Each structure stands twice: as C-alpha cells, then as structure tokens.
Amino acid sequence: MSWSMPPEEILTYAVPGFFGLSRQEGGDVPAPGQVFYWGRMHFTQTNDYLGLLPWFLVPLVFTRRRELADRFFLFLMGATLLMALGKYTFVYQFMFDHLPGFSTFRVPKMILFLFAFAVAVLTGRGMGILAEATPQSRPLKYWLAGSGLFVTFIGLLWLWLAFGAESAVRFLPATIGEPTRYQWGAGLAADRYGNAVREAGIAFGVAFVYLAVLLVWTRRWLPTRLLLPVLVILLLGDLWRVNTNFFVLTAPPVADKTKTKTDVVAFLEKNIDRYRMQPINEQSSAYYADFGLANISAYVTVSEKRYREFLDAFSLTGAMPNLVNLKYLVMPRGQYEEEKQNLADQYQPVFDSQNGSVVLENRQVLPKAWLVPEVQLVANPEQQLVMMRSPYFNPARTALVETPPPAGLAPKGQGNLTGNAEVAVFEPNRIVVNVTASDNALLVLGEKYYKWWHVMVDGKREEIYPVDHILRGVYVGPGQHRVEFRFDPLPFKIGKYLTLASFVFIAALAVTELYRRRKREFHEGTMH
C-alpha cells in the first residue's frame, strides 16, 4: 500500500515535472537547478507522463456516437486510476479484504500501465476522427472550446504558482522542504517551488502550441494530411524533453580489471575449467564472479527455494561440495591453520597468495557429469539434505531421487557399472554429454534442475529428473549415447510468438486500411 499514487500527482499527467523528475537512485549529485522527485511517494520512480496530446484527442472521441469499445476504455481509465490511488481511497482496501486472490498482487500504482494502454487506444481513435473530420463542423467547434478550457486551466495554474506563492505553498505537500540523500540545504524548498513554476509554464506553452495548430487546421490553413504528422512530431518532442530529464544518464565507471586482479584470480583462471570455487576470505563471491569464476554463493538460480535450503545445510566437508563441482576454496592462511585438521582429508593447499590467502583444492570433487549405477528413493527433500550431510553418502555411486526409477537399474549396493561421461559442449543454454555405459545408469549433471531444461538422448526426447535435491539427472541404457540438454522455456516462446504475431496483425491492419482508403478514393474520383 506504500506504493500508492498520491491524488495530487494526477496533476503530473499535465505538468510532468510539478513534483520534480528523476529520483536519481544510483546516480551522481545533481547539477545546479536539477530538481529530483520530492512528492509523497518516495519509494519508486513516479513519472507516468503520456504527453499532452492525449488530453486533446481523448475527449474528441466522445463528440461522436459513443461506441461500446470507447466506453469500455474510458471505464478502464477511470477504474485503473482509482486502483492506483491505493491507500488514499477505500476501494483498494475493500478489494484486498474481500476479493479472492487480490491480495497476491503488489504495488497499486503499477496498474497504471493499463491506464496508459486505454489512453493510447482512445488517442488513436481520436487521430482517426481528425483524419476524416470536416475542420469547421459543429462538434469540432465544441471540442475546440473544451480544449481551450484545458489550456486555460494549465495557464491559470501557472499564474497562480507564479504570483500566488503564499497560497500555493499551503496546497503543496510538506515534503517540498524535506532533504534527500542527494539534495539538501536551506534553499531546497525554493528550488523545488521554482521548478514547479517553470514546469507549469512549459506545460502551458506546449498546450498552447497544440491548440494553435488545431485552430490553424480549422481555418484550413493547415491541410489534414499534414496535421497528424505535425501533432506526432510535437508529441515526440514533448516526451523527449521529459524523458531526458527523468532518465538522468551518467557514464558508467570504467573498470580496469588488471588493477584489481589478484594472484589468486590469475591462478584460478588457469586451473578452474568448468569447476566452481568459493571464497572464505575478505573478497566477496561477486568479486570472483566478475572475473568469470563460478562459485556457489553467487550462483544465481531460478528456483531459489531449493538452492537456498541446500546452502543453509551446506558443509565444507563431506559430499555436498563434491556434487556441486566445488573444487577450490580461498581461505586466509591463519584460518586454514586453525581448521587444517578438519580439512586435510579432503582439501590440500595448492597456491599461496601474496595477500595471505591460501587456495585449497578439493581432491574428492566430482566432474561436471558422472554416471551412477544405483539410486535411492527419498521423497522428502529435508531427509535428502540430512542424508547428504552424512559421511557415508557417496554421490559418485548413489543418487537420491524423488520418484521410483525405471526398471532395469541395479538394486542399491549391487551396481557394478563401468563407463564414463564426457562434456563435449558447455554453453549457457546448451550442454552436450557423450556417455559410454556398460549397464543401465543414471547420468547426473552438476547443474541446477529446472523444469524448462529439456533433454534429447540420441535424438529422442527423454525426461529430466531432480537428483540430490538440486541437480538434474537422466536415465540411460548400456552403450554409447549423445545426451543434449537445452534450455527452452515455454513462457518465453509463447511471449515471442505472440509478439511476432502482433506485429504481423498490426501490419495486416495497416495494409488493409490503406487498401480500403485507396479503393474509396478511387470510387469517389470515378463518381466525380
């Protein structure tokens, strides 16, 4: 409910910079005269400006016979604007309390994208009416009069701010004088007030230009074929001015990695291959990830819950580091000496850094892909984590699965498998493993299980199973096989093809409309 649009900010649809512009969340200290957002909704960026042109054209739609679609989009505008006000009206709270499923949605103000959609549709309808209208018809005269009142309102607002400062300040929120992390000082309120006056004046000027263009058109001094391009150019200029102030761009810092690269990074880059490392020193996981060194705590996953459970139960000793391909630890030399007795059976020092750290190599780490001859059915994920922490768990021989394996796999303790699995291709969205097995086996890949990964075994679609709580596995038979994993998410494909289909549909509509107009003009010319 904190992300609710304050009612006074409806004014920003006409005067976009009234309450300041960009929040500049991660940018530099503002330049002189640059005023950032200072209204009551200080959690998110707040600009919803659609340009002034829609507020001329949307009323035009309703000077004609009202169609059901027009009424629907007008209702959508009103309903979504009301919803965006959130905590400032009773409506949102009432729906939150009584409408099933409504409580699963966040941020009331985000619904304004539907408001913008409805405005865009009605603006397009208004454009169509202008394209076919007679400039001096009576409905247009009433519409122009209403447009004049709209421009007059903005002009009066500007005059009130410019010459009625005492009463205007009482209207404005108290936040006009509150400092932010980027702006402070005695003149803060005055700067913000001056910006509101300036923005109101600019909005009045832009609105007056729109009105002047429309009046020139009604006098037939501007042909209809030029009117619409002129209006579009004005709209783009209006939006450009606001966006260049709202989206304050700063040059990114130039990082010279050679200056921050340590001897540990240089060692790991030469030796890590497809394995992972984990820092237990003063450097963060993100530092090593910046150099392309995969590690387990900066390993971003799609299904976060299971991986978080895995990390919460994680132990540096035992099988858990082995099955996630954790080959190297970076640890301060003093800490290693204290824990050496516990680590010595699994980790051996292989590099001493000049900064006092030591790189330890896990001698029991498993490869990126391996074959296991037997599985153990453990449906409870919590129980799986307990078993993986056990010193008796051997992931190289036994895999924990959540569903019964297909027939033909050796019973637990009786597997006698020979063979190997070699990763031939390792790309972000594609992994190919060449497998040779003497008997039925489960191929385990040291990568995260996620439902939108698919697998082909010798060109035939097979199923991927969750293995060892977070990994993925595929059952294979004896012989040689080519196992190809591909990341192919259905939601992405649906969105892609819907987008492409919408482009085709819009193009078809444009061609059809052009054909109809040409045909109509031809018939009208023949009749004359």
CA 401 distance to own-chain centroid: 34
Has residue 521 got a pLDDT over 70?
Answer: yes
Give pLDDT, residue 43: 63
Has residue 120 got a pLDDT over 80?
Answer: yes
More confident of the two residues 30 and 74: 74
Q: Of 246, 268, 299, which closes a domain?
A: 246
Has residue 30 got a pLDDT over 80?
Answer: no
Do 463 and 388 lie in one domain? The reply is yes
Has residue 446 got a pLDDT over 60?
Answer: yes
Q: Of 246, 267, 290, which closes a domain?
A: 246
Do 29 and 103 lie in one domain? The reply is yes
Contacts of 244 (CB under 8 A, 6+ apart): none
Residue 293, Cβ neighbours under 10 Å: how many? 22
Has residue 251 got a pLDDT over 80?
Answer: no
Is residue 252 a part of any domain in this protein?
no
Mean pLDDT of 313-341: 93
User: SS3 for 158-181, per residue?
Assistant: HHHHHHCHHHHHHHCCHHHHCCCC
Has residue 72 got a pLDDT over 80?
Answer: yes
Q: Of 337, 362, 387, which closes a domain?
A: 362
Is residue 251 a part of any domain in this protein?
no
Give pLDDT, residue 301: 57
Residues of the domain holding 302:
257-362
Give pLDDT, residue 261: 86
Has residue 45 got a pLDDT over 60?
Answer: no
Do 418 and 387 lie in one domain? The reply is yes
Do 345 and 276 lie in one domain? The reply is yes
Q: Is 275 left (phi over 0), alpha (psi -120 to 50) or beta?
A: beta
Do 158 and 45 lie in one domain? The reply is yes
Q: Where do runs of H (alpha helix) occur along 221-371?
A: 224-246, 257-260, 263-271, 285-290, 304-312, 320-323, 333-343
Give pLDDT, residue 46: 59
Determine whether 286 is exposed, middle or buried from the number of CB atoms within 10 Å of its CB (0-12, 13-18, 19+): exposed
Has residue 1 got a pLDDT over 80?
Answer: no
Mean pLDDT of 167-174: 84
Do 310 and 390 lie in one domain? The reply is no
Nearest 5°: the CA angle 17, 21, 24 is 175
Has residue 106 got a pLDDT over 80?
Answer: no
Is residue 288 a part of any domain in this protein?
yes
Is residue 303 a part of any domain in this protein?
yes
Give pLDDT, residue 285: 85
Give pLDDT, residue 29: 58
Do 506 and 483 lie in one domain? The reply is no
* Total tally of structural domains belonging to the chain: 4
Give pLDDT, residue 389: 92
Q: Which of 124-133, 224-233, 253-262, 270-279 has the lowest mean pLDDT?
A: 253-262
Pairing between strand 374-377 and 398-401? parallel
Q: What is the mean pLDDT of the chain?
A: 88
Has residue 28 got a pLDDT over 60?
Answer: no
Do 192 and 294 lie in one domain? The reply is no
Give pLDDT, residue 299: 58
Give pLDDT, residue 149: 96
Contacts of 1 (CB under 8 A, 6+ apart): 86, 87, 92, 93, 108
Is residue 1 a part of any domain in this protein?
no
pLDDT digits (tens, 9 = 90+) for 181-209: 767 777 888 888 999 999 999 999 999 99
Q: Which of 2-16, 24-38, 158-172, 346-360 has the lowest mean pLDDT?
A: 24-38
Is residue 373 a part of any domain in this protein?
yes
Do 358 and 380 lie in one domain? The reply is no
Do 275 and 171 lie in one domain? The reply is no
pLDDT band of 352, cuts 50, 70, 90: very high
Is residue 380 a part of any domain in this protein?
yes
Do 165 and 184 lie in one domain? The reply is yes
pLDDT band of 31, cuts 50, 70, 90: low
Has residue 481 got a pLDDT over 70?
Answer: yes
pLDDT band of 63, cuts 50, 70, 90: confident
Asked if 200 and 154 touch (Cβ cutoff 8 Å), the reply is: yes
Contacts of 474 (CB under 8 A, 6+ apart): 442, 443, 445, 455, 457, 462, 463, 464, 465, 483
Dihedral of the CA atoms 268, 269, 275, 279 (nearest 10)?
40
pLDDT digits (tens, 9 = 90+) for 289-323: 888 899 988 755 556 788 889 988 999 999 999 99
| 273 strand-pairing partners | none
Is residue 2 a part of any domain in this protein?
no
Percent of the chain scoring above 90 in pLDDT: 55
Has residue 248 got a pLDDT over 70?
Answer: no
Percent of the chain scoring above 70 in pLDDT: 91
Do 57 and 168 lie in one domain? The reply is yes
DSSP 444-489: EEEEE--TTEEEEETTEEE--EEETTTEEEEEE-SEEEEEEEEE--
Mean pLDDT of 207-222: 93
Q: Is 273 left (phi over 0), alpha (psi -120 to 50) or beta?
A: left
pLDDT digits (tens, 9 = 90+) for 84-105: 998 899 988 888 888 888 877 7
pLDDT band of 27, cuts 50, 70, 90: low
Give pLDDT, residue 11: 93
Give pLDDT, residue 304: 77
Has residue 24 got a pLDDT over 70?
Answer: no
